[in-house]
Structure 1
């Protein structure tokens, strides 16, 4: 295994670990009720405080990455997460459980910008195409979401304490792996990363008069915010479906068991992982990714409202998840390529992550409220929102001289060559 593959494998293993820890707690809710006497409020806060701490810590992590080194920030952040996991294992009251989850969330929030910065540095150092790396990143992220409940289920008779202590050790080892995976600031770029849809500088030169005006260095936050809002919209819709889909499956077929509901959800996540991997290999433009993702989401959601059998609902959900995966990949590839042309790497990743994660907080509330008010037509309303977003994006893209991502790439001089132009 070459150096690039080895580094990428270690980095993606960290992504799997972070996302697995996000979902591994779900099957242990009954254990928490028995162990610490956690009522509904404490159970809700166990997840809500973790998500809030993770979201709020990301801007701080981004600032830290800009002031220090991504590899060291990643290592210390993962070690902090390991401390939170170990504290969760020994929590014997609601207060200690919530405090441990906050520490855990802060650690994972701090590491997120470092992971994005690490991917940028790895692509730069070894000439790995950004789109391909982000496709693998997305597949690893979904694999982590699937792995969390699977690990909890396979653990069987293992106690919560034992399993979480093992998780703390694995997280600490992952922290060491990140130091080996993320190139240091003294690494000299070998080959500039280039995606299949990159625009050669020589080809772009004649069209310079049509290019948009360069973005001032202080405007990086505008593009990070826009990409974060796009990702927040994606997460709002997806997290709204998490409570909606089981309710809808039970409504179309009263015999739908927990295993049927789980199979539909797992199938959708598997579809999204496959789509991300494929999109990473073919590296279409950000414009095409965004339009395709919104179109698939709108079609899948509207069809879900009309589905009257489990098989039809499952098929429509697969279509939606293909759109979800495409939008997920577009936002992350956009922010990675944006920051390859700016000096504020970590801050942009932190702002992007903060805005993006808010979608997971409000999405379930929106989904339940829509379903209570409109029933299965809630899917149609979410589909209409996706269609509206598609029309808005199409209108913006038709503006003369506007190319999604080019303005960002033409901002401050890149730390590394030849990344500008890959985002057209």
Structure 2
């Protein structure tokens, strides 16, 4: 007779085999696969990790605190709030021009805590349909009703808010809150939220002011705004957004996240955010790496890296879209670039470059580039909508023009081979 474990493993294997057959199985690469390749895959967009700059700054932090203890040894609600956490929360609140800050172990933990604990029963959450899964998970665990609007579409947001106001007397009278959840830069599409439009729509449709704007700045933290303080700070909209989330695992090349809010929201998260209450507080070493990264951001070297990243993103887009075969390949729907129409006019560029392939072709392109020594990642459903599988390139401050030229040439060569292989079949079909 099969044991429970055997039955479980059989059931799980069926699911894994199905995903493998669909070309959607995640198979984490081993270090020997990606070490020595050209990095167009990692979130180390300022190249703080790859350059060794962050390691040097981190070791300097340890030298400045020779008597540090390794673990926090408790949760935030007991003895886990050590002085180094108090200090970094104060300093990050100042850096991002916020009233207060709460340091968390990860962006996923922070989002789950925010959206499960802060909106109350009877409140509503209107969210961009492409927000991160951690926001969705928090909403699922929470007690407020959630309503999506079309991605980056301020007209769709306006319609949702007007419907909500007109159909709910408590919202119309200002007695119920409406939370609006967006991201500054979207992690899979690389596009930027129209912050000014969203603020105006909220102001126009809910004139009693019973709304809370919240933005996840995971992919803009460190690279946009004064010293990398984010898109909200770039536009001076700090007072408009009651909750901002900045993660530290991307441009800052470390780990953790900071929720920027006021002291009441912070206290509520500590008291009602279950994954904050029931987890050990961040360790000194985790916080020291984050502090080291932020100190780099405030230097001339940090500024140079932010500028170089922007120049590299511009060069990549320009070289790809001006390639002599790009228009033909795009016309044949071999590849498409969702950000093609907007990248040139943006005041800043996103390092996330998604190149959408035909269905079930993203892995083929990904493997071709990896074999040639360029590390990229393929992404498919359920991470992105069905039929929009893609390779996702991340541009870095330390990528050279030669590296960008090389990966673009390989992408275009692969795409050319795709339509050349299709044409004979199309000719035969017409005979």
**TM-score in same-fold range (> 0.5):** no
User: Which category describes the TM-score, using the shorter chain as reference length?
Assistant: under 0.3
Structure with higher helix content: 1
Q: What is the TM-score of this pair, normalised by structure 2?
A: 0.26
Structure possessing the higher relative contact order (Cα contacts under 8 Å, 6 or more residues apart): 1
Structure with higher strand content: 2
